[in-house]
Structure 1
Amino acid sequence: MLSCICVYINITEHLKDFIEIQFDPPGQMSAGLTCEMMVTFKPMINEDLVGEVNFLSQTGPFSILLKCTTKKCDLSVDTNKVEFGTTVIGETLKRTFTLTNNGALGTKYEFFKLTGSKLRTVTTAETSLGRLTTADTLRGGTPDSLSMMKKEAAPPGDKKPDQEIVDKASQEGGGTSIDHQGTQAEADAMSGTIGDVEDGEQSPDLAISEIEDYGSLDGMKVGPMSTGEVGPFSSVKLEIIWQPHIPGKVFTEFLISFSDPLSESISIQALANAIDVPVWVERQTVDLKICMYDRLYQDTIIVNNRATTALRLKFEVCKELKNHLELLPKTGYIQAQSQFSAQLKFLPRKSLFQEAGKYFDKETGVLEAPMIIRVADQTQPVPFTVQAVVTTSDMEFDITNINFGCCTIHESVKTRIRLSNKSILPQEYGFVGLPDYVEVQPDDGFGTLLPLESIDLDVIFSPKKAREYKFELNCKSIINREFKIQCEGVGVHPPLDLSHQVIHFAATALYDVSTATVHVNNSHISTNEFTHPVPRIGKGEIVPVGPTSFEFKIPEGAPLTISPSVGTIEPGKKCRVQVRFAPQLEEMDVRKEGVRMASKAMEAKAQKEYQEALQKEKEKADDALKSGNKGKGKDGKSPAKGKGRQSPGVPTLTVAGPKPFTPPTLENITKDTPAYAAALGSLLRQYKSCFRTYVIPCYVASGKCGNPGELPYTNNNTLYMEVHCPVVKPTLVAISDHGKTTLDFGEVSLGQTIIKSVTIQNISKKTIELTSSLLDTSGPFLMLNALRVLPPDGTHTILISFTPEAGRVFHEVLQINSGTSVLHVTVMGEGVNPIINLDMPTENGAFDIGAVLAGEYLERTFKFICCHLVLLREYLERTFKMQNSSSLSIDYSIKLESLSLLRHAKSQELPSFIKQDEKMKSLVGTQNNNGQNVFDLVPSEGRIAPGATQEVTVTFAPDHPSDHYSDFVKIELFGKKESHSFHIKGMAKKNVMFVHGVDETTVNVESLSESPPSTLEEEELKGILPSVLFSVKSIAKESEFVPGSRDIYVGCVRTMAVSQKKNGEFQFENVQAITSKGFNIDPQRGMVEAGNLKPVTVTWSPPPGHDPNEPVEASIILTLKGDITEQVKVMLRAYVVSDVEDKTDKTESTENTQT
């Protein structure tokens, strides 16, 4: 199928002054498309116009016929001949006929009698009805003109046909005096009419007075409506009255003339026959209307006598009708100038057609029976006719027997029958004598059947107990005729029964839910049929007492759910069954609507792109035209003329039409797509209410049931539940998120709050007040804003927050009630426990930064970290890493306890060296004197993607020497939950080499004030060596001492000074002095790499004869070589402890470490 272009050419030349064509070329037209053309007609002359509108397409020229016609009259009558029949003189008869105008132009008419009319009446008054005008000349007509007319009218052989007479009588005189031809036509018309009355005999020349007398003696005249107007497409009824005064045949012509010059006059002929009989009947035709067979109908025949003597009458009936019709009395006398009444009795029988077939039409049922009244001494009888339409009184059923089969005593069986009225008269009917277990509907079996009408009736069989039924349906008509149907059925008492056979659901909106409850009862506890009805089929065997099973079978496609649908009930028990009605739109309908909407959107997009492309092409063409004109102006010459009509520089259109598109298929419109949700919303808005009824069978079987669908039931015991389901349009719809009613919060971290919204709209025509169900008060969902009254088409946004407190999936349904429907909003989300793994070295639960020179700083990054030693005026950096092991992004923040607002409140306690039993509340140790942070962690906050790792740098920058720099670090997730915490500590040293891991000889709390300057001379200070205490313990067993050992660490600070970035050396002096006391040091000398600690193991074995109650003390000199050479006095102390004391010491050590 190709597309083409339609071009308007022209219009017929003589129509251009009256017709205006407006036609916008549509461009390329695909097959099946249409375009519009506006035709405007401006009438200026009263003439018919015919022409053509010419077009040209790629397939060739074609034209459209164009006609403009004036209004005309289309006049006609339903009959041109009116027959009055034979009538006795003195009677008055009337006949009517219809004048119809089927044209669009109205006209005036004049109905007058032509036969026997006076010459002056033809031209009396000036009229516009199409007749001759100006009658003054005719009124003053000379005797010569009259005699001439008589002579021309005398010869009967010159008489012309009736139609020609009418034509001549209706000739127009053009508004001047009548001419000789018009007068002769009138005379010819009158002479012809008289000749017809005389049965073709030649009549002598008649004088004008004789013509006038004849015109009044025939008794014909026009009815009361002789003039008037007949409108367009309308009709009028005209009447001819005949009242004969003399006997004989009458032939009279009437003429209808019109004011419309184009309408010809219409001639009407009236035929009649008048007789003079002394005896006559008032009704020539006795109409008995419609009669039924075998019914008696009576009427009175009134006979009149105009004679002056009494006459003997005899009434005769034709022999064919003697068994059906009778006139009483058969003989009688009628007095002079009086009346006589006879009785007519009509009793039609079924044999009417066989016996009087020539008077009776079996197809139409019409009877026309001629009757005769014979009068003594009178040769001509008085005839009259008896008319009747004879019809049957039968009513007929479409079936003769009804078998209802088996029906339970809790239900009814309905059978539809058809009752037909074979008569052409309406008949009343009624079903009488019905037993109490049968009813006929509608109207309880009573009603009226119109002629030849059929009606469907429902016969409802409702047995009251288990037995076999046989009965008759008796239908009687108003004339006491009976029509019967034989019926039979079997009553069944099932072992189970339902508390409700019919469920009436309230009007339920689409995607709303209504529920109802029924109970299935097992009341069969005894087989004694003499004390109570027992379950059985008819008079069959009694059902045994025991467990009875049931199964509901829902029809396919029904929006119903029954729970439980299968079950077993013990004798005397009952089972509660819930019926759930949840109407929804058919998925295929939603998909079709989605395809339609998507196709419409794609078509609009293609059309928009096409229009934009056309606009661009037009702009290019205008630019090219402008550039061509500029070039012509510069050269002063126009381009050379080539062949054809080529216009270089003007581009042709390259856009053929809108781009074709492929609409989505039904398979592409799935429930999780926005197109499906949009289509669903569209259908909900245009949904019209409906009412559906479902009949659900409940199969019953004795014994316990097995798998669903395998119940060994019998159809005779089946129960039926009828469910009425009205479905209405919902008042509320969701308009956010393409109409979806599900808020999926996805994965949310524990303690984090996410807020989402759903917008609803009132699509009803009334204002509604909203209420909602309660969400779980202890659950994670919370509706944040209140509901309000919604006007028609009003909207409201509901805010719902989700704050999970447990790592699981949450699901709730929020019901928004509008009074007539409920909108179910599903809220769901999953709580996820955020997991962060720290990759950092810890020692006794603390991150040891190490040592640094005081004044310098130390940085470390983590995966998490304990700063080591630093020298004064130096710093140290370490790193640790945090890894996100959960499935969602995590926002973290790192907080130092030293920056907490509660730091000073927590530090208001006795120091640990006073109260050793209690745990320390304040984990913040020594801080810088300059007010700056000792420890700094960068970045302190951020977001870690799922599975990603964040490296954190820890900077340790002390400003004075101390071994007790510490702080407490907390890692919080999403600003609320504390995920990890650890202790961070570091040391600041004056020199590069130092000793670590010895016993504490001073308190671990630094004074807030600086130490006072020493009063000793510098010379005296040089002679005093710094000392440290180092304790070693040996465990006493039953027969021996376990040697005790402990490590002392010699460290070397990695300084920031380039010249000092080297290793340190250490050496223990005078080791032989402590060997005799059981001490051993390994190694005694060594080298320490910068930034490391070198462990030195000190072992003590009690010497022989040692008193375990006495400690052993010794001292040794440790020489440290680094940036300077320094000697440290190491005081060794050893003692013996029992095994129990050793365990107690380890426990206390562990508790102190945790603290």
Structure 2
Amino acid sequence: GGEGGEGGEPAEVPEAAKPRLDETHAVPEFTGLWSAEGQLGGGSPKKAWNNLSKLEQRYMEEALARKKAGHGWIEKQVVGGREFKGTAFVPSEKGRDVTAIVFKDFEPGKVYKRKVTLTNASLAFNTFKLLDLPDTVKDFFEISYTHPGAMSPGMMCDMHIRFEPKVNEDITEHIPLLCKTGPQNIPLRCLTKKADVTAKATDLEFDVIMGESQTIQLVLVNHGALDVPIHLRQLAGLPADLSPQSVAAHLAAAEAEGLYAEAPEPTLSYTADSTAGNYATTKIDITFTPAAPGEAVVPLHLRMPKGLSVPQSPDMLVLVRARAHEVPIYVLHETMDFKCCCLGQTYSQIIPVCNRGKVALKASLVVSRELHGFVSFSPDMAYVQARDRSGKAGRFDFKMKFEPEEKLLKRCKEFLVEGPTGLMDTIEIPVRVGVPDQTLPVHFNFRVQLTTGLIKFSQEEVDFGVVAVNDSVSVKLGVTNVGELPQRLGFPTLPREVTVQPNTGFLSLLPGEERSVELIFCPFSDIHYNFAVTAVAGSNAPYTVQCKAVGVAPPVEFTCTNFQLRACAPTDRIQQSFFCTNVSKEATSMELLVPRNSGIKLSPLVATLEPGQTGRFQLDFCPPYQPEHLSQMLLEMTGGRSSRMQVKKGEG
């Protein structure tokens, strides 16, 4: 007897001798096949199944089907008079409800794990059983969880899924659950890496003004996990009957037969080869820089390698619709030709600047460094109004003033071209019209041929010598037009002793022409003369010729120096007399000279007059008989009529 046995109390049993609950097993009332001994118990289950009769096997299959269908397991859940119908266990991952369990972008041979939480969403206690996956995929998955037994509403259970793919194929199945409220399938999708490229827009429209460039991005979105090489090539053309359904066939034929443009469109620039990264947006810049106004449609084949994934994106047709407009501001005439201009003169011309745009634009004419000081514009800046409703372009007229000088040729020697005369005397230089709101400046060519307005005289000084008073002396003066323009020349103001013939000194000179004029000097006094004769050309340039002479008084005076005789027939005779007086203080001898064959006779031909003496002279005029001259005169008088008769008379 120890202390523990006193008082009739049972002795205390040691802790190690007490049985554990987890080692206590319930003993079935009836022995099952799994523990039976003999012909039907133990051993391999297949042998037991094979030893069943056909009726027993059928009953066994029906029992398994009922078990799988939940026969005897499924119960209606009615709470508060309302029957629960719906998804009993809601799957979620990382606190977010999901509609399916997805293994995305897997690679064969790798192991993927996923933790899924099932939450009891029914109205009362509920539980579930995990059924077998389909035979086609069951070897790829391992699903484990700790069954909590009956789960109250809102209670959660974690399910661990281990996925080890063996083939590179998509899997679309479900995880079957048998709940107390009925069967439930959780969708299961396993997706391989894809090449899924789409374009936000494949029809690109460019609307550009000449001189500018526009860039539009071809945006490609890769929804897959594979990097996709992109090749962009220009097609040779598109068939007229191309439809959206035949695009794929046409692109395949173009790739197979190489139906691509040999020389790509030069106005388009883009990156031909690029890569669309996985789950990324790739932007390909396409830049249009027009070279001439017009419209064009350029087809581009966006090609991707085949066999990257199943399925994968098809090739795409990218249409580039380009439209180029002319610049709003332009000069009506591309070349402003001033023709031939004379140095030292001032010229002006209208420069019309037009605007075909929709808004008024500022325009300014810029004088280049070479033309500075010789060319000016009025005004130098103006706003050119927009076109009107009828489409007629707005217009503003600038005035161009040109004052050429000889040094202009040296300053513009880089812009000299051969002129009409074959000389390098023509300037052709561009002039810029600045438009702040227009990228491309406007130019027009300023063309002018420069020439001199110089008139050259054969003598710079004329000496008339000694000339008697009331007598006249003429001197020929050569005049040459050195320039390339016709010029007029005149002697508007002359001394009273000088006259110019012909046409009183007014004449026209063609380019390079040389003509002669007569300067006639008739002194009125017996003095020394020293004067200038001034000629003025059409360019208002004065030219001066210095003249000198000595006037002397004559020793004799005639009562008449000009005889007007009456008409006289051949062989007839006319007589006229005149007087001569010696006004000098000395005796003067003189001789009268008669032209030969003139029909004039003077007598006496030689005479000596004493100071103050007056002598008489006789003039006889007898026209010589010349038949050929007579017949010619008759022809001129009759205008050619009766020419035969007149000739005969002349001969007689």
User: TM-score, normalised to structure 1's length?
Assistant: 0.26
Q: Larger relative contact order (C-alpha < 8 A, sep ≥ 6)?
A: 2
User: TM-score, normalised to structure 2's length?
Assistant: 0.44
